[in-house]
Structure 1
Amino acid sequence: MRQMIDFRDYLIEKFSDIDKALSFLEVLLEEHEKDPDGAALYYGFSAAVEAQGGVQKFALKTHSTPQAISDALLSKDEIQIAELLKKQVLTRRGKDKDIAQNRPLPKGWREVKIIDFSPLQRGFDLPAAQIKEGTYPVVYSNGIKNHHSEYKAKAPGVVTGRSGTIGEVTYVTQDYWPHNTSLWVTDFKGNHPKFVFYFLQNLRLDRFYAGSGVPTLNRNDVHKKSILIPTLPEQKAIASLLEKWDKDIEKTEALIEAKEKRFKWLMTRLIAQSCKHWNHYKASELFKNISCKGYPKEELLSVTQDRGVIPRYMLEGRVMSPTNGTDSYKLVEPGNFVISLRSFQGGLEYSKYRGIISPAYTVLLPEKKINDDFYRHFFKTYIFVEKYLALAVIGIRDGKQINLEAFKSIKLPLPSLPEQQRIAQTLNTAQQEIYLLKQLAEQYRTQKRGLMQKLLTGKWRVKPNIKARI
């Protein structure tokens, strides 16, 4: 297991409640059992303790003794930590298995096993070479990815991943072919199909992962799980309410897609079609290569294709820690451009942040008065990547990189500053609209997740007058 940087901050930021922290630590525990020499278990454990406000609070919420936690943190003994986490995880799993003793049964609800609610069966083999073009969806572990001339299951259908992608659930509205990488619900047992879909979504099926190679869902473990379900009228009402959020999400995502198409059209109209009319200067006349080192205490930055140059703590997942210190790292200031190591995906990224990056990157400082946002957009255009930058790219496929000396000789457009500002303002406005819509879509998704957690567990009940209207 690789060493991680900013892991504590990442965990503290992401897992503000104990259930989320323990879910993540459960994954770490499984990885630790495969690689006992890894350091992630200790980092994750200590970060979770800090995220919960210290030893006492963490102990209270995880049914562990403060002394045991303190001893583990002080000793950094991963075996001790692993044993402590096993206790927490087993306690958590025990609660899942015996829900009747840990949660009151909502009025009108009943307890059943998954096998008596939505039994799952392995899908059918269908090699890619045997697919014949048709109208019937082929549902894989990660959703509908093809269409075939035959079907194996009648609609409606609920399908989840068996191998490869675990946890994703797909609802199918027409007759379909469940692929062998999936598990499909063979009998809804009198339950509302859309409710079954939402229920399995909320169940976190990825918890039933089995195997150490390709992720595989153990359906036998799923079938044994006890759950609480409402009456059919309440199932229909819950599904209807959640569908309203799905429709809002779909409408917003359609708007995002339309706005993104318009943004690409604007990029072409305002930049690509105008380039030939602008004065051109060598890149070395517009930008100079700078290399300021000796700032090891500055924020570590990462170069990304979609977000530019950002602090590493903003990255999701794990990032590599520098093994030889950061004295040789280069300083980046707001307004600098960085030549990305992944040149085949764009080439130059803009920084709004001060910090340091690997010495493998090239940092550029504008030599002439420019509008930063104009060039931030320009460096993402198809015409820049394919016409201008292509002259300085060497290597093939993933091995492509920018030859700095060749880049210096490329002639880049320099519109007048007022024109740069006008174009940048138009593109910024269009980009901001997309950003706000994405925020709205995420708000809808967050609201839906919250509703699912409440409605599908009986913590919130649908009012009788609402059920009567559905």
Structure 2
Amino acid sequence: MADNKDKKVLNVPALRFPEFTEEWNEYAIGKVLSIGNGRDYKHLHNGNIPVFGTGGYMTSVDDFLYDGESVFIGRKGTINKPLYYNGKFWTVDTLFYTHSFVNVLPKFVYCLFQTINWLKYNEASGVPSLSKATIEKIKVCIPSMDEQDKLSNLLFLLDKRIEVQNKIIEDLKKLKSAIVDKLYLSTKGKTYPFRELFEVVNERNKNNAYSNVLSASQELGMIERSDINIDIKFEQDSISRYKIVHKGDYVVHLRSFQGGFAFSDRTGICSPAYTILRPNDMVVYGYLSYFFTSKPFIKSLKLVTYGIRDGRSINVDEWLDMTVTLPTKQEQIHVLAIINAIDSKLRNETMIRSDLHRQKLCLLNSMFI
């Protein structure tokens, strides 16, 4: 690929294939594409998937769909007769599609649209809104058909590689889940009520010794609230009432349908609404973290769970009377070693996926204008 950073006077991207030297041409989208509403396009993907919708305004632009003929602009959702396609849910009453391409390849448009800052063209003060007329006026730069073909083929190959990586990760998650269920169901040892293994602690942050607020995540356990994309406001003075979570504790949260027990591999503070469970020395560090995410355990919580949907809560006092089979410490360490090996593989594959996404973003930023 040729680096064109020295040719800033030309209307060319910073990075491109060496055989292409001509400038890109600028057009309004409406000059090279015809934009239709979802209501006008009754079937998607050669008629195999029906599209229901009324067209109109988009409430946001979350993703794009490409069926080989048209590029669909819409938002993902699960309301208003959702359409499930290519592993995603689409709310099709906010769907537009492009057709009747003039000197531009549909697959190039699919890539090009991923480079546009759509929120820049937001027409509403509240929920983002974008109309067909506005889309048609957006200016884009387009190269020759040959360069469009080569550039989009490169990005499509990268997308395929990302799909493969997603499949690797999903298969590893399924393997881990199956192994966790098998290991804990087949374990042998002495049976204990949970109250003989855990102490309910209510240590408050009275002296504001800790300021890092933790939140419960079923997949990652207790994580720093600052690390998640949810901005929960609270008065700084109120953290003196928060509960202290020590490394190795388990935290009971409200999402019982996910298990409701989050392991903490760090010390911090959490909401007073959480219940903190501190295991005694009969339980190896982290051993029950995987058990508490297993399907058999989650199913058993139905006996001590009250309420509906996200508001369901676990009656901890009743749960403490339930029992668990606990193997020897040596066996606990062996079980952890097996599962941790899979976790390590999962982390590595997830890092590879992140690298692929960064690579794609870099190409989108440097190979388009």
TM score, norm. by length of structure 2: 0.81
Q: Could you tell me whether the CA contact under 8 Å between 1:119 and 1:185 is conserved in 2?
A: yes
Kindly state the Cα deviation for residue 363 of structure 1 after the two structures are TM-superposed: 0.9
Partner amino acid for 1:403? N
Q: For residue 121 of structure 1, what is the aligned residue in structure 2? A: 36
Q: Could you tell me whether the CA contact under 8 Å between 1:124 and 1:178 is conserved in 2?
A: no
Q: Cα 1:143–1:199, aligned 2, differ >3 Å: closer, same or farther? A: closer
Aligned residues: 334
Q: Cα 1:126–1:196, aligned 2, differ >3 Å: closer, same or farther? A: closer
Partner amino acid for 2:216? V
CA RMSD of aligned residues (A): 3.2
Kindly state the Cα deviation for residue 391 of structure 1 after the two structures are TM-superposed: 2.6
Q: For residue 406 of structure 1, what is the aligned residue in structure 2? A: 318
Q: Could you tell me whether the CA contact under 8 Å between 1:394 and 1:400 is conserved in 2?
A: yes
Q: Could you tell me whether the CA contact under 8 Å between 1:123 and 1:178 is conserved in 2?
A: no
Structure 1 segment 48-447 matched on structure 2, within 5 A? 104-106=10-12, 107-124=22-39, 135-136=48-49, 138=51, 155-161=68-74, 179-211=92-124, 215-272=128-185, 274-275=186-187, 277-293=188-204, 294-298=206-210, 299-322=212-235, 325-387=238-300, 389-447=301-359
Q: For residue 56 of structure 2, what is the aligned residue in structure 1? A: none
Partner amino acid for 1:348? F
Cα distance in 1 for residues equivalent to 2:246 and 2:326: 22
Cα distance in 1 for residues equivalent to 2:312 and 2:228: 24
Kindly state the Cα deviation for residue 199 of structure 1 after the two structures are TM-superposed: 0.1
Kindly state the Cα deviation for residue 341 of structure 1 after the two structures are TM-superposed: 2.5
Tell me the SS of whatever aligns to 1:372. coil
Partner amino acid for 1:234? E
Q: Which has the higher helix share?
A: 1
Q: Could you tell me whether the CA contact under 8 Å between 1:256 and 1:437 is conserved in 2?
A: yes
Q: Could you tell me whether the CA contact under 8 Å between 1:113 and 1:223 is conserved in 2?
A: yes
Q: Could you tell me whether the CA contact under 8 Å between 1:113 and 1:226 is conserved in 2?
A: yes
Cα distance in 2 for residues equivalent to 1:420 and 1:282: 17
Q: Could you tell me whether the CA contact under 8 Å between 1:159 and 1:184 is conserved in 2?
A: yes
Q: For residue 41 of structure 1, what is the aligned residue in structure 2? A: none
Partner amino acid for 2:97? W
TM score, norm. by length of structure 1: 0.65
Structure 1 segment 23-62 matched on structure 2, within 5 A? none
Cα distance in 1 for residues equivalent to 2:152 and 2:177: 37
Q: Could you tell me whether the CA contact under 8 Å between 1:125 and 1:179 is conserved in 2?
A: no
Tell me the SS of whatever aligns to 1:377. helix
Cα distance in 2 for residues equivalent to 1:188 and 1:418: 66
Name structure 2 gaps, 5 residues minimum. 1-7, 13-21, 54-60
Q: Could you tell me whether the CA contact under 8 Å between 1:371 and 1:421 is conserved in 2?
A: yes
Partner amino acid for 1:377? Y
Cα distance in 2 for residues equivalent to 1:266 and 1:142: 35
Kindly state the Cα deviation for residue 179 of structure 1 after the two structures are TM-superposed: 4.0
Partner amino acid for 2:108? F
Q: Could you tell me whether the CA contact under 8 Å between 1:137 and 1:144 is conserved in 2?
A: no
Cα distance in 1 for residues equivalent to 2:39 and 2:331: 59
Q: Cα 1:155–1:452, aligned 2, differ >3 Å: closer, same or farther? A: closer
Name structure 1 gaps, 5 residues minimum. 1-101, 146-152, 458-470
Tell me the SS of whatever aligns to 1:262. helix
Q: Cα 1:110–1:313, aligned 2, differ >3 Å: closer, same or farther? A: same
Cα distance in 2 for residues equivalent to 1:247 and 1:139: 29
Q: Cα 1:126–1:214, aligned 2, differ >3 Å: closer, same or farther? A: farther
Kindly state the Cα deviation for residue 239 of structure 1 after the two structures are TM-superposed: 0.8
Tell me the SS of whatever aligns to 1:413. strand
Cα distance in 1 for residues equivalent to 2:74 and 2:68: 18
Q: For residue 462 of structure 1, what is the aligned residue in structure 2? A: none
Cα distance in 2 for residues equivalent to 1:178 and 1:303: 30
Cα distance in 2 for residues equivalent to 1:220 and 1:162: 18
Q: Cα 1:239–1:155, aligned 2, differ >3 Å: closer, same or farther? A: closer
